[in-house]
Amino acid sequence: MSGLTIDHGGAISVDPDALRDVARRVDAVACRYDDAHSAIMRAHRIIVDTPGLSAHVDTVGLWASGQHVSRLHSECRETASSTLLMADAYEYVELRAEAEMLAQTDPSTAQRLLRRADRLAASDDRIQAMADEVIAQWRAERFEGLTGNLVTPALYDEVFRTVAMVGVVSGLGKVLPGETLRGKADPVSVSPVKTSSPTGAPTGLAGAFGRMPTTAGAQVAVEKYSFADGTTKFVAYLEGTQSVGWGGKEPWDSKSNLQLYTGQRSASYQSTLDALRAAGAEPGDEVDVVAHSQSGMVAAHLAMESEFDVQMQITAGSPVEPTLDDDQTIIQLRHTNDPVSALAGGGSPEGTGSDDSVTISTEANPNDTFDDLVVDAHHLETYRDTARFADDLSDPRMDAVDEFWRELDAAEVIERTEYQAERTE
């Protein structure tokens, strides 16, 4: 698989403070080059001023070395300055984006952030122009791969482009701070259909997506991890859409898709809450989530409004991007040619979640085939292929999720229950 990228998501792929730290380190190297240049020049002066000594030393080469070191000093200083400028531009983007999100729920904080952004822009008239360029590039590239299919050009170039613009124009692809699901879910019943005792936690992203329910009809699997110190954690594995029908017995259907995307409480969300409670999860317990497709929306609202403490969520092909706190981590797998993922509108310029949060993106099955007619880029197994590739990269940005598996693997007891949910009316 080629073209896979791992970053924080959005337009800002590098934390501004991390960039500033790089700039300080580069500037320190520049100082060393400056000292080296001065030492070489002093040595050159001593040699040429000492009668007969220059006959034994290549003074031309020494002078050239001094000039080379001087150029390295200038290049490091220029790089440090440019890096600091980029950090300011990235911070400006973050401040403006965060202020826009908080405008309705916390206007005073939004105004404070806007004032900080304005002061930053006033410090260098290049900052706003660079920020505008960053956003423009992000907007131009966020749906790359969604159109241009040679086998089904009308489908990909018209229908899929329209799907992508739904998330952009409606704003529904981003779950904003303070947004909670409205209304009442259809009544559901949730029943355990299989129990087991796994021998350990998943060992990677592909393994996690492989822990989806295996029993026919089950949509939720909950694993309870019990540790030696008496603490417990839960991990919920949530299937994607199971039916294109509307309002039948299957809660993970088109009706729930539309309800969740438009901010309404769905039968699938209610079923997930009921399954977690049946598994023993109580308010305040850590409940982490692995979710595909529609359940990415379930995971978003579990993290943002439920009674549970969602510290880690791993989603594949989610139609939305949540707005998470700085202590919540999200690993998002997104295929650039997946129209369901495109409903998220490309996410947001500032990304979401903790500094450990990452978005893993690529074009799935880039060779145009008739499988594109069934939108294979959205299938769970296709996302598992991407997850396997990401696992094999050993990228340092994946350290946080690797540590998450190791912590879970320390549990003394793991109890797994699969649940089947149905609408009851």
Residue 103 has pLDDT above 80, yes or no: no
* pTM assigned to the model: 0.76
pLDDT in tens, 340-389: 888 887 777 677 888 889 898 888 765 544 455 456 888 999 999 999 98
State the Cα–Cα distance between residues 13 and 141, nearest whole angstrom.
Answer: 13
pLDDT the model gives residue 385: 93
Two tokens at 261? 């995307």
Minimal CA–CA distance to 331: which of 19, 8, 21? 8
What is the maximal distance between C-alpha atoms in the chain? 104
Q: Give the DSSP per-residue string, 119-140.
A: HHHHH-THHHHHHHHHHHHHHH
What residues have CB less than 8 Å from 84, skipping those under 6 apart? 19, 20, 23
Residue 358's H or E segment, with its range, is strand 358-362
Q: Give the DSSP per-residue string, 144-185.
A: TTSS--SSSHHIIIIIIHHHHHHHHHH-TTB--TT---BS-P
pLDDT the model gives residue 217: 93
Q: How confident is the model at residue 18 (pLDDT cuts 50, 70, 90)?
A: confident
Task: Please work out, in degrees rounded to the nearest 5, the angle formed at the alpha carbon of residue 30 by the alpha carbons of 29 and 33.
Answer: 90
Q: How confident is the model at residue 227 (pLDDT cuts 50, 70, 90)?
A: very high
pLDDT the model gives residue 145: 57
How many CB atoms within 10 Å of residue 78? 12
pLDDT the model gives residue 370: 46
| CA 72 to centroid of chain Cα atoms | 36
pLDDT the model gives residue 144: 61
> Could you tell me the residue ranges of all domains in the chain?
13-140, 145-423
pLDDT in tens, 389-410: 898 887 787 888 899 999 999 9
What average pLDDT does this structure show over 20-44? Answer: 93
pLDDT in tens, 151-164: 555 555 555 556 55
What average pLDDT does this structure show over 169-185? Answer: 86
What average pLDDT does this structure show over 168-193? Answer: 88
What average pLDDT does this structure show over 304-331? Answer: 94
Mean pLDDT, the chain, as a whole number? 87
Residue 5 has pLDDT above 80, yes or no: no
pLDDT in tens, 104-131: 778 888 888 889 989 988 999 898 888 8
